[in-house]
């Protein structure tokens, strides 16, 4: 597999995880008042760890889980992911420039 193909696949998987997290938060908000089974908070936090952009976006857009103290972890996850992405961008842009 070519390096560009691998990067494209990884970006697609990451986007999919963020969409899954956003969907889980939205679904949980949707069923919240219906008496149906909710998404466990542990599952939402695990998805937020894997896809914090989607989780945070859902929290802001649909105002879900914004008062629960443990869901402030989503901001921590988001910050860590941003730092990791910036690190990877600088690392790979330096490698490309050094080639």
Q: 94 pLDDT band (50/70/90 cuts)?
A: confident
pTM, two decimals, is 0.87
Question: Structural domain tally of the chain?
Answer: 1
Q: How far is CA 17 from the centre of its chain?
A: 6
Containing domain of residue 65, as a range? Answer: 3-98
Q: In this prediction, what percent of the chain has a pLDDT beyond 90?
A: 77
Read off the pLDDT of residues 72-82 as tens digits, 9 standing for 90 and up: 999 999 999 99
d(CA 14, CA 33): 31
3-state class (DSSP) for residue 16: helix
């Amino acid at each position: 597999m070519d390096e560009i193909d691998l990067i494209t696949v990884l970006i697609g998987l990451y986007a999919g995880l963020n969409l899954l997290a956003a969907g889980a938060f939205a679904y949980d908000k949707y069923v919240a008042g219906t008496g149906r089974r909710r998404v466990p908070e542990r599952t939402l936090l695990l998805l937020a760890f894997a896809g914090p952009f989607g989780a945070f976006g859902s929290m802001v857009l649909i105002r879900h889980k914004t008062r629960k103290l443990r869901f402030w972890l989503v901001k921590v996850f988001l910050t860590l992911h941003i730092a990791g992405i910036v690190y990877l961008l600088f690392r790979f842009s330096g490698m490309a420039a050094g080639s």
